[in-house]
């Protein structure tokens, strides 16, 4: 009988057999995790360890017992309950309000608070002054009276839109001088055209003919 090389897997003993490492096993009785055979079929793997999804959780290769993976999410290498907890920047925090959200490593209630600032400079939680207030950089402003632009905080007419800006301060919207100039030019052209047509009608006698035609049409004069 020919000898078998030690690196060759063992031959299957039945169609239901599998190989775990160099050991044959039945998938109906065992689970193989990274070359390690574990007793029990249909288990999940966490690295080389096997576990039951209803009894444990695996996050980034770390196995946590007594927390079912079916009802948990991962926050880094730790599981947490998404119904009652939040994962904020790798920190597990208890949800204090139904609408609580993450603001950096803190929680805030979006109904009564604002999360202002940015990731690089850090975020901070501010008490919302009104339902119309929004974030502008690391402070808040009333969007009904201000817009968030490149200058300092200043009053803005009601319902005015903010000018485009790459900064995040609040400033008054500048006047569009170009738009006003175009509007004035348009009005001047229309007025000149009106004057031209009036002079044209008077100089050619067309105005008298049009008026005469109108009188005939409305029965003010008999038709000849």
pLDDT score for 132? 86
**What residue numbers bound the domain in which 153 lies?**
131-179
SS3 category, 127: strand
User: Do the domain assignments include residue 150?
Assistant: yes
Q: Rounded distance, CA 90 to CA 104, Å?
A: 10
Tell me the average pLDDT of the chain: 76
User: Do the domain assignments include residue 88?
Assistant: no
User: Do the domain assignments include residue 86?
Assistant: no
Other Cβ atoms within 10 Å of 59 Cβ, number: 19
> 59-63, 99-103, 111-115, 163-167: which has the minimum mean pLDDT?
163-167
Phi, psi of 100 (to 5 degrees): -70, 140
Query: Tokens representing 224?
Result: 């000849």
User: Do the domain assignments include residue 47?
Assistant: yes
pLDDT score for 211? 55
User: Do the domain assignments include residue 151?
Assistant: yes
Mean pLDDT confidence for 103-120: 88
Number of domains in the chain: 2
Q: Rounded distance, CA 143 to CA 141, Å?
A: 6
Q: Rounded distance, CA 50 to CA 181, Å?
A: 76
User: Do the domain assignments include residue 4?
Assistant: no
pLDDT higher than 70, residue 93: yes
Q: Rounded distance, CA 35 to CA 25, Å?
A: 11
- Give the model's confidence band at 114: pLDDT under 50 very low, under 70 low, under 90 confident, else very high: very high
User: Do the domain assignments include residue 72?
Assistant: no
User: Do the domain assignments include residue 85?
Assistant: no
Q: What is the pLDDT of residues 9-68, one digit of tens each?
A: 545 455 457 888 888 888 889 999 999 999 999 999 999 999 999 999 999 999 999 999
Q: What is the pLDDT of residues 116-149, one digit of tens each?
A: 888 777 888 999 998 888 888 888 888 877 777 6
């Amino acid at each position: 009988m020919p000898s078998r090389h030690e690196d060759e897997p063992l031959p299957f003993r039945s169609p239901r057999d599998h190989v775990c490492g160099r050991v044959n096993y039945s998938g109906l009785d065992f689970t193989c995790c990274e070359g390690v055979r574990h007793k029990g079929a249909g288990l999940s793997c966490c690295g080389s360890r096997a576990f039951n999804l209803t009894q444990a959780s695996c996050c980034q290769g770390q196995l946590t017992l007594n927390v079912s993976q079916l009802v948990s999410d991962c926050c880094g290498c730790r599981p947490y309950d998404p119904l009652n907890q939040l994962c904020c920047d790798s920190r597990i925090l208890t949800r204090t309000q139904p609408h609580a959200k993450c603001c950096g490593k803190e929680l805030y209630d979006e109904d009564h608070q604002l999360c202002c600032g940015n990731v690089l400079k850090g975020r901070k939680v501010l008490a919302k002054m009104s339902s119309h207030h929004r974030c502008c950089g690391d402070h808040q402003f009333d969007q009904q009276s201000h817009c968030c632009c490149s200058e300092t905080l200043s009053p803005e007419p009601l319902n005015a839109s903010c000018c485009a800006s790459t900064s995040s301060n609040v400033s008054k919207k500048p006047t569009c001088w170009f738009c006003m100039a175009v509007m004035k030019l348009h009005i001047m052209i229309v007025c000149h055209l009106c004057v031209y047509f009036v002079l044209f009608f008077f100089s050619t006698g067309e105005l008298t003919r049009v008026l005469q035609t109108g009188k005939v049409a409305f029965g003010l004069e008999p038709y000849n």
